[in-house]
Structure 1
Amino acid sequence: MTSSTSTPGLTRFNTSADSDALAALHEVCASSAWGSRLLAQRPYATAEDLLLAGDAATAELSAEDLAEAMAGHPPIGRPKPGDPTSAREQRGMAGASEELRAEMLELNLAYQERFGHVFLICATGRTGEQMRDALRERITHTPEREREIVRAELGRINRIRLTRLLEEDPA
C-alpha cells in the first residue's frame, strides 16, 4: 500500500456509511473519542493522512479515553477467544512454555494491580520472552512514565490496525 495515493481500502473507508466506518474504527481502537475524531475528518486524501490523524487523535486522548482504549485490549498471553486480531498480534506467545505463560499471568496481575489497567504493548513481531522482559521493566516505572509509554504503544497498535483496515478485502 502506498501512502501517497488513494487506495481501494481508503476509498472504501472514505465512502462507507458513518456507522460502518465507526464500527471499523472501533475495531482499531476502543476509544469512542478516537473513532469519532477520525470519522469527523473524512474523507482522507491519502492513507498517510489517515495514519497521521490517528496519531494526533491518540496523542489527544484524555485519561478516560485512554482507559476506554485500553479496556479493548486483552492481557498478553490471553487473547480474546474467537478474536483473530488479538490472536494474530499475540502470536509471539503461541508457542510459549507453561513456565512463561505462568510468569506472564503473574506479571500481568501485578502490573494491573500497580497501574489499574492491562499491560499494553505492541505485541506484533515480539516473542513471549521479549514481552515478558518489557513487562518486567515497565512494572518498575512511575505511573506518569508508564502512561506515556502506554500512549506510545497504543499509537503503534492503532497504526498497524489502521494499515490492515485499509489493506483488507471486505469480500
Structure 2
Amino acid sequence: MTRGPTLPAHRLPHPPGRLALPGLPEQPRVIPPPSRTPLDVFNTEPAEQARRTLLACLHSDRWAHRLAAHRPYPDVGTLVAASDEAAYDLTPGDLAEALAGESMPTLPADTYGAAHTALSAAHAAYEARFGHAFVVCLGGVSRQEALDHVLEGIRSRLANDVEEERVVAAEELRRLAGQRLVRRLGGTGR
C-alpha cells in the first residue's frame, strides 16, 4: 500500500531494553504430568494388589506380605535388596510353599523332541528325590545355552542330600525373585 502525500512516515525511537507487545495474551506453559513407573504404581497400589504382584515373583505369602508392608521403595535396587533379606528369612514351610508354586522350566517351541524328553525325565527324577519342582535362575545364560544349563543343573543337584538341596533351591528362588521383580517393576512405564 502506498502512502498518500498527507501522511508522514512514522519512525519510533529505539526503545531501551525489551519491548512489550500489548494485547497478546500470555500462553500458559503446559507441563506434561510425570510418567509413572511400574515401581511408582506398585508403591501406591492397594496392599492386596501389591501382594498379588509380588506373589507372581515368588509364591510365598509371608515374603509378599513383608515386602508389601514396607512400601514405598525409592528404587528397584532397594526393593530387590529387601526381597533378598526377606527370602533369607523363609522358614522351611515358607520355602515349601514357594517351591510348590514353581513349575518346570519351559523350553522354546523350536527345541527338538529329544530335549523335551531329556528334560522331562531329569525333572521327574528330581521331583521324585526332593518332592518339588526344580528351580534355577537363568539370569545371564544365553537362550542357546539354557537347556544345557538346566539339564546340567538337575543332574549335578540330584547328588545333593535333602538339606543341601533345600539351601541351593532357596538360593535359586531368591535369585529368581530378584530377577522377576526387576523385569516386572524395573521398567519406565507399563
Question: After TM superposition, is the score higher than 0.5?
Answer: yes
Match in the other structure for 1:112: 127
Partner residue of 2:116 out of 97, 101, 107? 101
Q: Deviations along 1:27-63, whole A, 9 cap, x unmatched?
A: 1111101100101111112222111110011111111
Matched, 1:135 2:167: no
Shift of 1:138: 0.6
AA matched with 1:113: A
CA spacing shift, 1:123–1:23, aligned 2, 3 Å? same
Question: Which whole-Å CA distance do the structure 2 matches of 1:106 and 1:123 have between them?
Answer: 20
Any conservation in 2 of the 1:120–1:150 contact (CA below 8 Å)? yes
Match in the other structure for 1:40: 69
Match in the other structure for 2:100: 71
Matched, 1:20 2:62: no
Which is further off, 34-43 or 45-54? 45-54
How many pairs does the alignment contain?
Answer: 150
AA matched with 1:167: G
Aligned-pair Cα RMSD in Å = 1.7
Question: Which whole-Å CA distance do the structure 2 matches of 1:117 and 1:160 have between them?
Answer: 21
SS of 1:127's equivalent in the other structure is: helix
Any conservation in 2 of the 1:76–1:108 contact (CA below 8 Å)? no
CA spacing shift, 1:94–1:131, aligned 2, 3 Å? farther
Q: Deviations along 1:83-112, whole A, 9 cap, x unmatched?
A: xxxxxxx5xx44332112111111111111
Question: Which whole-Å CA distance do the structure 2 matches of 1:161 and 1:67 have between them?
Answer: 19
AA matched with 1:116: G
For normalisation by structure 1, the TM-score amounts to: 0.81
AA matched with 1:105: S
Q: Deviations along 1:63-94, whole A, 9 cap, x unmatched?
A: 111111112211124xxxxxxxxxxxx5xx44
Provide the identity percentage.
31
Any conservation in 2 of the 1:111–1:139 contact (CA below 8 Å)? yes
Shift of 1:160: 0.9
Unaligned ranges ≥5, structure 2: 1-35
Any conservation in 1 of the 2:84–2:174 contact (CA below 8 Å)? yes
Match in the other structure for 1:31: 60
Any conservation in 2 of the 1:108–1:118 contact (CA below 8 Å)? yes
Matched, 1:62 2:91: yes
AA matched with 2:54: L
CA spacing shift, 1:97–1:157, aligned 2, 3 Å? same
Match in the other structure for 1:154: 173
SS of 1:28's equivalent in the other structure is: coil
Matched, 1:121 2:136: yes
Unaligned ranges ≥5, structure 1: 1-6, 78-89
Which protein is bigger by CA-based radius of gyration?
Answer: 2
